[in-house]
A and B are shown apart, each in its own frame.
Chain A
């Protein structure tokens, strides 16, 4: 029972990471109807920036904030410079551009920071009071940080006019322009936010996974599985889906398929959900009258 509880809680902790990435993916998908296959690599690259800052002696939380700013700026930049020119191009072209970005950031990280695996610090003390038999202090802290981020993002979209305008621009760009919303700016803002959320996932995952250029490929897969499971048109469903995938992955890894085949759990989740409930568990199915 104790072992089971441990696996369950630890699944929730890693699930928070997947939830963050799933949320980032869904935000982009809602606004552009595309899947940003480079989202994981952007997060990985941002994590290297955090690592560089920490190495240079910047205090951890300052480095954390600076990295989020960097990731936000990177997201805005890529949206405005790389993605905007292809926004009316065929679907295939946009997929290729995202794949191109994935490849570029992966190799850029290898080029600049080498492929040597690096350790990454955790801001949470090894023997903190909030550690327990079930979760390490880092896992507890990581869960808290991702939870705070998710709540902040939720509040932003729910309660601010800017968040509302972003939702509006994603849903109906033409009508948004007619009420004076600059859709291009909202897309850039969304890409920036997604980048920053991804960076949080990267920074929180790095102490566990260690830092290397391919660090995020697995997490991206779990994030995709979470997004599909929760419903790719529902950010909160996707976040919940991410947590569920984390739990599922941990339990399956411990009791069913073994740690070796964990990634296949994500693949299977994706295939099964798309086969039997393509809108996901919490996908919207509202009736639109015309």
Chain B
């Protein structure tokens, strides 16, 4: 397997505040890589850095062999990186269907888009039920599903997921993670999953990185990481 995304010597800062330093990371094509770390470790910042969004970045980021660092956020998205952001990025005054249409905004293949509506509604039947509802009135879990579905409408080659479990009831979280697993299995879609809930993430992922105060401190196969005694103590709680 080869890397779909490769990051080398990446620094990132908000204004003068440096958040990431010398991050090296790569994501295997077709796999799910988890990025674990405590609150404030720099997980969200790393996702933002990949999309050149709100942060100042130095270093190299390559996506499918081309350098993308320094490109505009929207052109990175057009290359095939779907970002399910922190806070879900819901267009709350628009309907569910309009949110999904926006996900497919850059596509010109009408037939494919119509098929993809069917595809995401199959993954998330609840969204089909509520397709005319204003997105701001959905529950938190439904908004999270909508955010993932919206990113899927782009037919991305890589999906970046920023804490999809955040603030949701465990039963909903399980449902979402089950669907993410299914998408990865059925479509071989590569994913970078940022999570605080290490148990969940390590179950789903095949590779994992551990980030502490802006630096990658460990990386490798998910099974190996979850077997590491210090990881078990600090992140898995046993």
Other-chain residue from B90, B138, B139, B140 in contact with A175 (beta carbon distance below 8 A): B90
Other-chain residue from B77, B83, B102 in contact with A164 (beta carbon distance below 8 A): B102
Q: How many A-B residue pairs have CB under 8 A?
A: 91
Contact B51 A178 (CB under 8 A): yes
Instruction: Note all chain B residues with C-beta closer than 8 A to A172.
Output: 89-92
A286-B83 in contact given A179-B106, A180-B105 (Cβ < 8 Å): no
Contact A164 B101 (CB under 8 A): yes
CA distance A288 to B90 in the complex (A): 10
CA distance A172 to B135 in the complex (A): 13
CA distance A167 to B154 in the complex (A): 18
Contact A178 B93 (CB under 8 A): no
CA distance A121 to B213 in the complex (A): 70
Contact A177 B53 (CB under 8 A): yes
Please classify how large the interface on chain A is, using the bins under 10, 10 to 19, 20 to 34, 35 or more.
20 to 34
Instruction: Note all chain A residues with C-beta closer than 8 A to B106.
Output: 179-181
Say if the beta carbon of A168 comes within 8 Å of chain B.
yes
A290-B140 in contact given A171-B91, A174-B85, A178-B83 (Cβ < 8 Å): yes
Contact B77 A178 (CB under 8 A): yes
Say if the beta carbon of A83 comes within 8 Å of chain B.
no
Instruction: Note all chain B residues with C-beta closer than 8 A to A176.
Output: 74, 102
Give A residues with C-beta under 8 Å from B.
161, 164-165, 167-168, 171-172, 174-183, 284, 286-290
Chain A proximity mask over B123-144: 1 for CB below 8 Å, otherwise 0: 0000000000010111110010
Q: A161-B101, A175-B90, A180-B74 given. 7 additional CB < 8 A pairs?
A: A164-B98, A168-B102, A174-B85, A177-B73, A180-B78, A287-B137, A289-B138
Instruction: Note all chain A residues with C-beta closer than 8 A to B157.
Output: none
Contact A289 B53 (CB under 8 A): no
Other-chain residue from A165, A171, A179, A182 in contact with B92 (beta carbon distance below 8 A): A171
A168-B94 in contact given A178-B53, A181-B102, A287-B137 (Cβ < 8 Å): yes
Instruction: Note all chain B residues with C-beta closer than 8 A to A286.
Output: 92-93, 134, 136-137
Query: From A162, which residue of chain B is reached at the shortest CB distance?
Result: B105
